[in-house]
Chains A and B, each alone.
Chain A
């Protein structure tokens, strides 16, 4: 190539710079978005699709995948002449229990928030002490509660014994164990909901409250008709985080019972992990099929969340 003179070269770059300048507002967002989208696509969006694909295979995580069609789902759900996978059945119903009972965190959080929404001295200290179980890792919460529940050494049975009741072995009893774990999970979750409501209560319009008081509204009526409607955004977020929390119950179960006793506390997320990385052979395909079922349960909620948020977005414009 011949040596290009300096002058034309600036000329050549001039229109380019101009093009970028002209389109700066259109291009910039994509440049800013690129890294985030790249990461998110590689680690989140694409793997969802891959999991669907893997769920139609038999795969040990090492060699070739073998296409088995819907065989994994047939075994899981018991289509044809086989029984439904019992571990799956238990896990599914436990997931439902988690979903329903975990929602108790919302009223419980509201109750504590109402209790703490005062301006006495030291109340800030109380608020943060009530909240701080939320920042403890679920692993430690699980350990703390499993010691709390110990059949002889645990504090719970000491207290029950004091009142002449018990002893109960919550984590050793297949009918109680799941509820015991949910109770442990409710502890930090309630703290989270409480802080959401405390913030919400701060923003309640005092004039409306006063007006309602003049109209003679009190107690429950006031709460139901005047306060709760104003707390709607807080309730929505509390609902979202509680549902997500309920479906991510893996840590507590793994630490507290490891799925036992006799497999009675498994949930889908735990069963999926067990099958995929089991000692006697990775069943990535079967695990992926369980994950897909879990995903579809979640998808219902995701759609609802997104729809609500979309409505709000439209409203804001």
Chain B
């Protein structure tokens, strides 16, 4: 896999040079150092990021690109420190409300001027997710659908079909459980995976608008509609649908359950496909379906988180940083880095092409044609950052001890009142 990546990047260098030649004319040649801190620490994204930095470095002979890759989970606690104490030029982060603390603290640079360039018209669909207070604070480099990845061979073995509604979902799950297979694997050690479940069950139960009202802190956590969400979720928990001890595993550590057939499905983002393939699952064993309908009165809403690059307000080489953002969002680079053998995700540039990969095609089709309710960024990006942190801890607790629900909701409500008032 590594060798294929390398070849694709070699090709990319050639393509990149011609593609960005147009930009290079308008700008003085870049020099000095460009410091990038990236959180793309999983094997496949890591290779992509290293390739990007190396190519950008090669394109600008007078510029030295210094890339630091940090643990993706640890970065969530380090980013503020990095931006304030020792700012690099470019950092990775997430779109939407998750940018809020850094925008408010003045740690991200306003790059609205870059967004006004003509080339950025191709990114128009993502502009909203990058906008806070009427300005743009970074650029997206990838987004991906969420949904249920499942073992097609196991479903076939028991004559199961992709469920389209909650009854079918529960029936499928019961069949699997009767045959000693868990319906879902999940690893909640780093909490956010539980957020995906909440997003889906809540938006399918109460609709996109309600979900976003809750995210904005306009609805109390103790609301009956929220309780209905948890009641639906609890049906699965009480059946024993999820693997045991998930609070101890990272999402990667939960993968083997699916790979070796102890669990049949995984509610995940498309980035997991690379890891599943690495684990030995072929495309004939692996398939994807959209999270089923729960309440027929509400439209599908989908999680499609956007990952981003930002320029630190304390950046020293702003010209090079902006050029790097133009480079990663250009159509060619977008096509290459999001390909199935690289990130395996969706490009943000309308002029780039989606790789010939069944999951990417299904995902793109789902997000374009079957997400009438709306697009959610993800629990920890739509909710206020602190609310999300306390909230996900509660979700994890709920998945292990559903009886604690009242106490959990009370605690979340207390936090909501403190944060939003």
Contacts and interface: CB of A to CB of B under 8 A. Distances in A.
Interface of A: 60-62, 83, 86, 150-152, 169, 171-172, 258, 260-263, 277-282
Dominant SS at the A interface?
Answer: loop
Nearest to A264: B397
Contacts of A60: 105
A83 B389 CA distance: 20
A281 B105 contact: yes
B248 A169 contact: yes
Contacts of A86: 411
Interface residues of B, number: 25
Contacts of B386: 278, 280-281
Nearest to B189: A260
Contacts of A61: 84
Contacts, number: 63
A172 B193 CA distance: 16
Contacts of A280: 101, 384-386, 389
A61 B414 CA distance: 26
Given A172-B248, A260-B393, A261-B248, 16 more contacts: A60-B105, A150-B248, A152-B245, A169-B247, A169-B248, A171-B248, A172-B247, A258-B189, A261-B400, A262-B247, A262-B396, A277-B80, A279-B79, A279-B385, A281-B80, A282-B84
Interface of B: 76-77, 79-81, 84, 101, 105, 189, 191, 244-245, 247-248, 384-386, 389, 393-394, 396-397, 400, 411, 414
Nearest to A273: B77
B79 A169 contact: no
A150 B244 CA distance: 12
Given A279-B79, A279-B80, A262 B414 contact: no
A277 B393 contact: no
Contact of A281 (B101, B189, B244, B400): B101
B248 A277 contact: no
A86 B386 CA distance: 15
A281 B77 CA distance: 10
B304 to A, nearest CB: 22
A152 B185 CA distance: 14
B84 A62 contact: yes
A281 B397 CA distance: 25
B79 A83 contact: no
A31 B141 CA distance: 60
Given A86-B411, A279-B77, A261 B397 contact: yes
Contact of B101 (A62, A150, A279): A279
Minimum-distance CB pairs A-B, first 10: A151-B245, A280-B385, A262-B397, A172-B248, A169-B245, A280-B386, A172-B247, A261-B247, A280-B101, A172-B245
